[in-house]
Structure 1
């Protein structure tokens, strides 16, 4: 039969493990948020859109390509360096920016 101290140690160890996992998840969330913010900036600049419109573009591209928002954001940020986008993201991006643009055309 475990002693009271052994039970407390086991509980504390489980709590520490849980807190470490939560910290890792929070670190990932902060990184993801930064990537998404940068992608919104890219869309704002390229499409001459507001941040709210750029967010809508990002979400639409994600939905139309069946790709997570974070993955689309990562590709858009990389696009500023390497100049290439996967074809499905490129097509969805142009179409979505055109829908958000007051003139019907991306920037």
Structure 2
């Protein structure tokens, strides 16, 4: 679309941008809520919850935000639409299998290096370097 930079065109363009940003914000909030539902019910981590939403979306050809809306409603009503009813369970099972198959992560080392200072210790005169 070409704008002739008239005030009406600028207002229309800004309104369209605001509408898109509003929709993105609402979608993001619903997706976060659905991930929270998945975390609470299935013992998944947030990244795994996102993967579940994506997998259900891909296998049902329903947008992620719509899948998220269905899961948030399910938390309240206990019902899912027929076309996605079995998909979240399968996706959660896949996420749990992937977690078990992944190599264990090691927490960062807490070992103190020789000559290092702990919290609150300064490198004043006479301190080891």
Please give the TM-score of this superposition, normalised by the length of structure 2.
0.69
Structure number with greater Rg is 2
Size of the aligned set, in residue pairs, is 96
Unaligned runs of 5+ in 1: 1-7
Please give the TM-score of this superposition, normalised by the length of structure 1.
0.83
Residue 46 of structure 1: aligned partner? 41
Structure 1 residue runs of 4 or more that deviate by more than 2 Å after TM superposition: none
2:50 corresponds, among 49, 55, 62, to 55
Residue 25 of structure 1: aligned partner? 20
Instruction: For 2:18 and 2:12, locate their aligned partners in 1 and report how far apart those are by CA, in whole Å.
Output: 10
Larger RCO: 1 or 2 (CA < 8 Å, sep 6+): 1
- Deviation of the 1:88 alpha carbon: 3.0
Instruction: For 1:83 and 1:70, locate their aligned partners in 2 and report how far apart those are by CA, in whole Å.
Output: 19
Unaligned runs of 5+ in 2: 101-129
The structure whose residues are more often helix, as a share, is 1
Q: Which whole-Å deviations, capped at 9, do the CAs of 1:46-95 have from their partners, x for residues lacking one?
A: 11100000000000000001100010000000011111001332211000
